[in-house]
Amino acid sequence: MPTALSARLRHALPHPRLTRGRIVAGAAALAVLVGAVTWAAWPSSAGYRVTSQMINVLTGPDGNTPISLDTSYYQPRSASASHPVPAVLLAHGFGGTKDDVASQAEDLADQGYAVLAWTAEGFGKSGGEIHLDSPDWEVKDAERLIDWLATRPEVRKDGPRDPRVAAVGGSYGGGLALMLAGYDRRVDAIVPQITWNSLANAFLPEATGAGASSGVFKKGWAGIFFTGGAVPAGAAVPASRAGGAAPGGGAPPVGAEGTDLSCGRFAADLCQVYLSIATTGRATPDELALLQRSSPASILNQIHAPTLLIQGQADSLFPLSEADANARGIAANGTPVRVDWFTGGHDGGSGPQSDQDRSNELTTQWLNHYLKGAGPTPSDTFTYSRLAGIDANTNGVVALGYTAGAYPGLSGRSARTVAVAGPPQPAVNPPNGTPGAVSTLPGVGGGGLSSITGSAAQDVPGQHADFYSKPLPSTVDVVGAPTVQVRAASPTGEAVLFVKLYDVDPHSGATLPDGLVAPVHLTGLPGSLDDATPVTVTLPAIVHQFQAGHLLRVTVATSDQGYLSPAAPTVYQISAAGGVRLPTVHGVPVASPDLIWRWVLGGLAALIAIAVVVAVVVARRRHRTADHSVRADLADVPLVVSGLRKEYGDGFVAVSKVDFTVRRGQVVGLLGPNGAGKTTSLRVLMGLTKPTAGDIYVFGHRLVPGAPVLSRLGALVEGPGFLPHLSGLDNLRLYWRSTGRPLADARMDEALEIAGLGDAVHRRIKTYSHGMRQRLAIAQAMLGLPELLVLDEPTDGLDPPQIAEMRRVLRRYATDGRAVLVSSHLLAEVEQTCTHVVVVHKGMVVADGPTDDIVGDSPSVQFDVSDPTAATEVLNRNGARSVSGEGERTLVADLNGANRAEVVAELVRAGVGVDRVVPRRRLEDAFLSLVGGDTKASGER
């Protein structure tokens, strides 16, 4: 299971239009960034020291049972008795150890916190058994560790035996943080991540109230939990079930007499609860009570530590409803609570880097204020993220963060109801739920795309009923838990059903958002639908955008491989009973991660002073010198490259001097041998590398990384990267959304028309040929119809018909005043496609002009002769170059400056009949002439 999220900080700063006011703000941000980089690069040996040791604690119901815990203590070198610092208890995930949170511990220590990480009972080198965060065991263990921190002179104290301390952890560690805060008032702040509110409800959804559970057993995740506590081969099991203690207080090896191998390192009472529920699918009141003792739900009214709840949207183990219950219960005490949702979870991993950055920054802000007393009081603003596109550099998923005022709960702030309909349908419940439908794959999602998009979901024919909406007239942004009404009839009077809400693209099929499903156990059902009353089902909370034109599909299935279904085969009757309520929240995109970080680094007065100085210097320089960042005379010219030079640190010069211009209506081909400097020039143009000298102007604006004018430029330089399980159209929509610009600005239909993909754009990428992917990549570069299009080898891998079509695509694009710059090694295609050519050789431009003019300089001549072999000898004697045959009696040769008439006379004197002599205008010939025949690489990087 995932442990606590990594605390590594990475910035993704926007690049707004520069104004005088933003210069000041930018200077402050730069100072912050310099401080952050200095902090991140500081050697760990200079920032903190780590001590690993076994700490013995007295725990258990009577508080007298000795247990050894394997710990690591991270002490900042700046911490001392005269300069005490706050502390953080850092807990790991289920099945893990203290080593899993080492990176986060190091980051917290670097920020000035004394961090104590430990391996929980029953795992790693620690003694004891697994009690699932029991208040008698794991919670008492943590209380004793707080006692230990209270003895450290370098840890800040709020009173005798009361250190200033926070509890942080993910999953199992997050549950411990909540439980500890409820039982020990010394805890000053907590940050629980991807964790539970009620173990009973998490493993037996609907398992609430008195009496035997009516919930549906989550057998997949329960099995993973249980096997996670099993003992690996050769390891030790607890002495309490192995017939005595081993030497040194440890446990005897597996297989010793009396060992209960079926329970591993689980405590006996929990082991029996699991075995009983896994066998029957039901829980007794006593079994539920045992699970509730390890549930924050039992002590929420006792939590007074300010709480930051971070929960994953792709999580079929502890869904968003678990964090919602914790938030509502803790807030009812008047305790400060903030909620953050991200696109990962137990099925989706730690989420995209943007999600990790946001969560890490919120955590830092939370701890700094409530432990250090630094920075303003964090607001209770609700934040969440939405899948936005693909990172062109890593092909990884990108998510955008949003903020939406106070936490709205799962019902949203407003709602839209969409009608679904369909005839009543039978659905067969197979024996023991086998074969089972697939919603998600518990424990193996691991951040894969299918876990996030739900594209792996499959239903078994005959075992489900489907009800559809009409195509949506407009896009709906769902943030919260949808609800739907259904009717069901069963000959047995009860039914276990699995209700799902699919997003159906009419062209590429259905996806199940985050692979989430609502299991329901209905009792008291009639035998006929005529007598059935509507049942309202609350579906799992999601963050999902249902696009205009898509359909909703409510699927009611009788099985799911992640849950335990009734053993007896049955046929249910199911019908829809109304519409789907879709909760919505109006979120505002999070502007920038560094807005939060500014409070972390402090020293605002110094930053303002620096900003003022920088602003004054900039203002004075503006008075003394002209601003060359904008050239009014080039405002209507798509691209001007002037004096471009790129020299690397080892002295290698990739580009010595390159100058050329691309004007509206032109298709310009950038040519050159390998190593001539083409790729380097394009990389500089795209901001991927910084030039040593020279300027690039795009529509009069000097080009720098992140310049706003880049929005007028489209490019395909490093090759396409698409999500294989989504359609071409969905990939384009995700990409455009990641730019933060309105979908209407994409001019999607026009780009697709130019690219000529036709209906193929609605098929999933995994069915595309290489040529179709390349054309989709061209369409992606064309989104928004940028006025300048830059393409590197756009015909790479295409077959001749596709190359010919690409030629037409580029010609069509360069109409209406747009321009194209294309780099290619296919000289014949450049000759037929490009209006102008720039030839680069050894880092310099050796020719630049209209294609016809460049080709017109070609020295090649075609000879139709009676004896090609004899003619070749004569041509070679007269200094001709590149003599080649075309057909039985045709030769093409570069005369290399020789007089054509004299060469013909030599052929006749040698007895060779000459039938025809005509000039050959080929770009290839001109190119070879310009580069002196040198097409070898010269080391371009």
**Mean pLDDT value across the chain:** 80
Q: With 90 as the cut, is the pLDDT of residue 380 above it?
A: no
CA separation for the pair 754, 179 (Å, rounded): 60
pLDDT of the residue at 44: 39
Tens digits of residue pLDDT in 54-82:
999 999 999 999 999 999 999 999 999 99
**Whole-number percent of the chain with pLDDT over 70:** 79
Who has greater pLDDT, 449 or 579? 579
pLDDT of the residue at 471: 95
Describe the strand order of the beta sheet including 667-671 as a list of residue ranges: 701-702, 693-698, 639-647, 653-662, 844-850, 836-841, 667-671, 819-823, 788-792, 713-716
What is the torsional sign of CA 223, 226, 229, 232? negative
Query: What would the mean pLDDT of 718-730 be, rounded to a whole number?
Result: 75
Query: What would the mean pLDDT of 1-26 be, rounded to a whole number?
Result: 34
Q: What are phi and psi of 428, to 5 degrees?
A: -85, 130
Q: With 80 as the cut, is the pLDDT of residue 836 above it?
A: yes
Q: With 70 as the cut, is the pLDDT of residue 208 above it?
A: no
pLDDT of the residue at 352: 76
* H helix intervals, 184-319: 199-203, 219-228, 268-280, 285-293
Query: What would the mean pLDDT of 557-573 be, rounded to a whole number?
Result: 91
Of 340, 344, 341, the closest CA to residue 353 belongs to 344
CA separation for the pair 879, 368 (Å, rounded): 80
Question: Which of the listed ranges 339-348, 444-453, 674-683, 899-908 does the model predict with the highest average pLDDT?
Answer: 339-348
Q: With 70 as the cut, is the pLDDT of residue 842 above it?
A: yes
Q: Which of 507-511, 710-714, 828-832 has the lowest mean pLDDT?
A: 828-832
Q: Which of 211-215, 255-259, 811-815 has the lowest mean pLDDT?
A: 255-259
pLDDT of the residue at 848: 86
pLDDT of the residue at 17: 38
Q: What angle do CA 217, 220, 222 make, to 5 degrees?
A: 65
pLDDT of the residue at 24: 39
Q: Which of 500-504, 554-558, 642-646, 891-895 has the lowest mean pLDDT?
A: 891-895
CA separation for the pair 174, 188 (Å, rounded): 15
CA separation for the pair 596, 481 (Å, rounded): 29
pLDDT of the residue at 419: 95
Tens digits of residue pLDDT in 455-476:
567 888 999 999 999 999 999 9
Query: What would the mean pLDDT of 912-940 be, rounded to a whole number?
Result: 63
Who has greater pLDDT, 914 or 626? 914
* H helix intervals, 500-637: 594-601, 604-624
Question: Which of the listed ranges 332-341, 378-387, 737-746, 758-767 does the model predict with the highest average pLDDT?
Answer: 332-341
Domains for the chain: give ranges and CATH numbers. Answer: 49-197+300-406 (3.40.50.1820), 201-296 (no CATH), 414-585 (2.60.120.260), 632-850 (3.40.50.300), 859-920 (3.30.70.100)
CA separation for the pair 322, 221 (Å, rounded): 15
Residue 152, classed as helix, strand or coil, is coil
Query: What would the mean pLDDT of 280-288 be, rounded to a whole number?
Result: 87
Query: What would the mean pLDDT of 532-542 be, rounded to a whole number?
Result: 94
Who has greater pLDDT, 316 or 281? 316
Who has greater pLDDT, 584 or 215? 584
How many CB atoms neighbour CB 41 within 10 A? 7
Query: What would the mean pLDDT of 740-764 be, rounded to a whole number?
Result: 81
pLDDT of the residue at 921: 58
Which pLDDT band holds residue 570 (cuts at 50, 70, 90)? very high
pLDDT of the residue at 274: 86
Query: What would the mean pLDDT of 703-728 be, rounded to a whole number?
Result: 75
Which pLDDT band holds residue 678 (cuts at 50, 70, 90)? confident
pLDDT of the residue at 757: 77
- Whether 776 contacts 768, CB under 8 Å: yes
Who has greater pLDDT, 828 or 189? 189
pLDDT of the residue at 397: 64
pLDDT of the residue at 237: 46
Which pLDDT band holds residue 931 (cuts at 50, 70, 90)? low
Q: What are phi and psi of 212, to 5 degrees?
A: -65, 150
Q: With 50 as the cut, is the pLDDT of residue 165 above it?
A: yes
**Whole-number percent of the chain with pLDDT over 90:** 39
Q: Which of 396-400, 479-483, 633-637 has the lowest mean pLDDT?
A: 396-400
Which pLDDT band holds residue 256 (cuts at 50, 70, 90)? very low
Q: With 60 as the cut, is the pLDDT of residue 686 above it?
A: yes
pTM: 0.63
Of 154, 140, 149, 131, the closest CA to residue 188 belongs to 149
Query: What would the mean pLDDT of 364-370 be, rounded to a whole number?
Result: 94
